[in-house]
Structure 1
Amino acid sequence: MKRTLIVVIIAFSSFTYLSAQDIDSIVDSLVARRSITEKVTLKLSTYNSSEWFEVAGSNGQPGFDIRPNDAIMNRVGFNYRFLSFSYKFLISALPPNADDEEKGETTANGFNFALSPGQWATDFSWDKTKGYYLRNTDDFDNTWMDGDPYFQFPNLESQIFRARIGRVLNPEYSINAVTTQTEEQLASQGTFLPSLRLTYYTVNDKEPFGPNVTTTQRARQFEAIFSVGYLYTLVLGKGFYTSVDLRPGLGYLNTGLLTRFANANDIETNTDHFVTGFDTDLQLGYNSSKFFTGIRGSYDHYEHDQYETSAARITNERLRVEFFFGIRLKAPEQMKANLDKAEANMLKYMVKRKLRREERKKQKLNQN
């Protein structure tokens, strides 16, 4: 069963992602990048905060800056070749997360699955968070002072579904060397990376958004962002490297908001927006045959045109700092053998398909 599942995954990736250009570039890319096929990686990451959102104010009223009590998040991952799976979790007992009396209790978890064969890079993720607090409580309570409990929303829950797909245009650049550490960048390289990111948010509160507020809201957002970024990895030597990227993007945002009143009919609004912004990352890392470690800083900034509406506006990962550490272990022989066989069959199929395509081109030329 395990063997069949692995073969199915490999076959799916070959049909969907690989192209003739991938086949042509395999030999050339060996000079600048190396796939660590004999080892699996176990990776632990710790980073500051998860995602939060803002609700824009209207008619002269202040907005709402609503955040979870998750100053420190954690993620554990398993990576092998171009497959990656990770699980996100929150440890409430950690000192930065333990101020429940002031900010309330938050529970959060999620998972991520990445598939990056050849020059393709894709990932799919789901995150769920419950329990938020109102960071700008002082806008609603003039007597509030630092150290006082924030206004809390223990039943406020959000879910985020995200899918990304992109293609590395330079076959000698390894995105896996930076993200999953299943490859090694042997020589400094840069590349352009066109990509599409799709995100769907749902936010539902069963309590008012602050003191003196009698309404509750349920919001959903769909966002599609297309970006063309540039990534560069500088190999410093002796296992050290640094990587930087800048990805400007634009896209579409649709927001739907249901406002529920205690003594009146509910109001539902729907708005469309044109979105522009950018993402940028800076990473410093170290690689060895047995372990790897590094630090990564990320900043995201996206804006959209504003209308006179109270629709929810969700902000993702404005500023994040992540520390990661991982170990490399010998891959189980059966797993390695299954993937070797599947990749060999995949390569044979792609070569045959390319030859058939070339033969059809020749036939068309002869007919003309």
Structure 2
Amino acid sequence: MVTLSHAWNKLFPALWPMCVCAFFLLTFGHSQTDTTRIINYTDKIILKANVDTRSDVILYKNREDGSRLHLLPNNRYRLFLSLDYEFIGVSIGVVPKFLGANSDEDLKGTSSFTDYRFRFFLGKWVQSLTYSNVKGYYVRNTRDFVPDWTKGTNPYLQFEGLGNTLYGMSTSYVFNPDFSYRNIVYQNEWQRKSSGSLVASLYYDYTLFRLKEESVDAVEKFFNVRLAPSYYYTFVLHDNWFLSGNISPSLGIKTSRYEIRTDTPPEVEKNTYFTKNLAGGINLGFSSEKVIFGINLNFSADWYNEDDASNVETDQFYGLLYFGYRFEPPKGIKKLFHSKD
């Protein structure tokens, strides 16, 4: 079976030099900006709803005996509601019941999901802050551990006390002034002419992965840093329609501190890992002065070797639908942001 991690190992030697070349071309190849290429709507309030199928999948693999542990939260869909105005944006993510979330709770158990994101637009720079919490996982490959298990009849093995909490930040810089990164990621700009750009991003986060089940109380704390030289391109298909694509290989460092808490002094283990990531996707969208909507197809994979015999991997392929509306801000809000004008 070919996984995204195998594809990454083959693609990365070619992708990295291409991104470096794009860096020099875009840095030294543009002397002025064609302002007709991009229309900025930061003076409008933008309300948007996203629905996606992404899950926090965790895959542990032992290369010596071929065994696997595939953990998955019982969240079929996620809903994000966002608001953007001027240089700031905020979004809230939940798992709503009316979208069929937490389906088959009697078989897969219950899961919870909460996500808060803030973003700040400072010229070519984009800064984001994220808090995310997921709790409650089930073992997708339960049959590997319970041979007489029957799908649809017997409950999956479950870890209701297993949780993943992330405090993250990212800093991105867009090199080409004729390309709108915000058009395809945040929809607070409108790309009118086809263009592409290298977008350099630095991701850094602190993650707590905790298991608390009966007599077991273990927590692993991670600090992750990775650098991603992404490339984006937007094809303007019509006055209002566009098709965009992106590819993003990245490398990083992950440090961990693992603690097993018992009545005796906790057992502590520290490690440092070298991480790899490959992400990308395509976006078909519609943009006008007031209405925006579109569909995204994305993939993401990251992995690292936990030791000589095992590795941790996350492969995801998911879809996203979004719909948004732009409108004039109330006078009070407009006055608050432009009190010095």
TM-score, structure 2 as length reference? 0.82
- Look up the equivalent residue of 2:222 and give its one-letter code: Q
Task: Note the C-alpha offset of 1:30.
Answer: 1.9
- Look up the equivalent residue of 2:37 and give its one-letter code: A
Q: Which residue of 1 aligns with 2:188?
A: 182
Compared with structure 1, are the counterparts of its residues 320 and 82 closer, same or farther at alpha carbon in structure 2 (3 Å cutoff)?
A: farther
Q: Could you give the per-residue CA deviations for residues 37-77 of structure 1, whole angstroms, max 9, x where no partner exists? A: 44211100100033232345598584422111001110000
| Contact 2:131–2:165 under 8 Å retained in 1 | yes
Q: Which residue of 2 aligns with 1:84?
A: 89
Aligned match of 1:322 in 320, 327, 340?
Answer: 320
Aligned match of 1:123 in 118, 128, 131?
Answer: 128
Task: Note the C-alpha offset of 1:257.
Answer: 2.2
Return the alpha-carbon distance in structure 1 between the equivalents of residues 31 and 79 of structure 2: 35
SS at 2:212 equivalent: coil
SS at 1:335 equivalent: helix
| Contact 1:35–1:81 under 8 Å retained in 2 | no
Task: Note the C-alpha offset of 1:242.
Answer: 1.1
Compared with structure 1, are the counterparts of its residues 259 and 62 closer, same or farther at alpha carbon in structure 2 (3 Å cutoff)?
A: farther
Return the alpha-carbon distance in structure 1 between the equivalents of residues 165 and 42 of structure 2: 35
Q: Which residue of 1 aligns with 2:39?
A: 34
Compared with structure 1, are the counterparts of its residues 183 and 337 closer, same or farther at alpha carbon in structure 2 (3 Å cutoff)?
A: farther
SS at 1:177 equivalent: helix
* Rg larger for: 1
Q: Which residue of 2 aligns with 1:359?
A: none
Task: Note the C-alpha offset of 1:141.
Answer: 0.6
Q: Which residue of 2 aligns with 1:201?
A: 207
- Look up the equivalent residue of 1:155 and give its one-letter code: G
Aligned match of 2:172 in 166, 169, 175?
Answer: 166
Return the alpha-carbon distance in structure 2 between the equivalents of residues 314 and 277 of structure 1: 10
Q: Which residue of 1 aligns with 2:256?
A: 255
- Look up the equivalent residue of 1:241 and give its one-letter code: F
Pairs aligned (count):
311
Q: Which residue of 2 aligns with 1:355?
A: none
SS at 1:237 equivalent: coil
Q: Which residue of 2 aligns with 1:67?
A: 72
Matches within 5 A, 1:18-33: 28-33=33-38
SS at 2:178 equivalent: coil
Q: Which residue of 1 aligns with 2:25?
A: none
Matches within 5 A, 1:115-154: 115-147=120-152, 148-154=154-160
Query: Is residue 247 of structure 2 the alignment partner of residue 246 of structure 1?
Result: yes
Q: Which residue of 1 aligns with 2:198?
A: 192
Q: Could you give the per-residue CA deviations for residues 327-368 of structure 1, whole angstroms, max 9, x where no partner exists? A: 1121123333443456x6xxxxxxxxxxxxxxxxxxxxxxxx
| Contact 1:92–1:106 under 8 Å retained in 2 | no
CA RMSD of aligned residues (A): 2.7
Q: Which residue of 2 aligns with 1:302?
A: 302
Task: Note the C-alpha offset of 1:289.
Answer: 2.2
Query: Is residue 52 of structure 2 the alignment partner of residue 47 of structure 1?
Result: yes
Unaligned 5+ runs, structure 2 = 1-29
Query: Is residue 284 of structure 2 the alignment partner of residue 278 of structure 1?
Result: no
Unaligned 5+ runs, structure 1 = 1-24, 209-213, 345-368
| Contact 1:81–1:183 under 8 Å retained in 2 | no
Structure with the larger helix share = 1
Structure with the larger strand share = 2
Task: Note the C-alpha offset of 1:130.
Answer: 1.6
Task: Note the C-alpha offset of 1:265.
Answer: 7.9
Percent identical residues: 23
Q: Could you give the per-residue CA deviations for residues 238-287 of structure 1, whole angstroms, max 9, x where no partner exists? A: 3101111111111111122234679x986432221122232212111001
- Look up the equivalent residue of 2:58 and give its one-letter code: F
Compared with structure 1, are the counterparts of its residues 217 and 53 closer, same or farther at alpha carbon in structure 2 (3 Å cutoff)?
A: farther
SS at 2:33 equivalent: helix
Q: Which residue of 1 aligns with 2:113?
A: 108
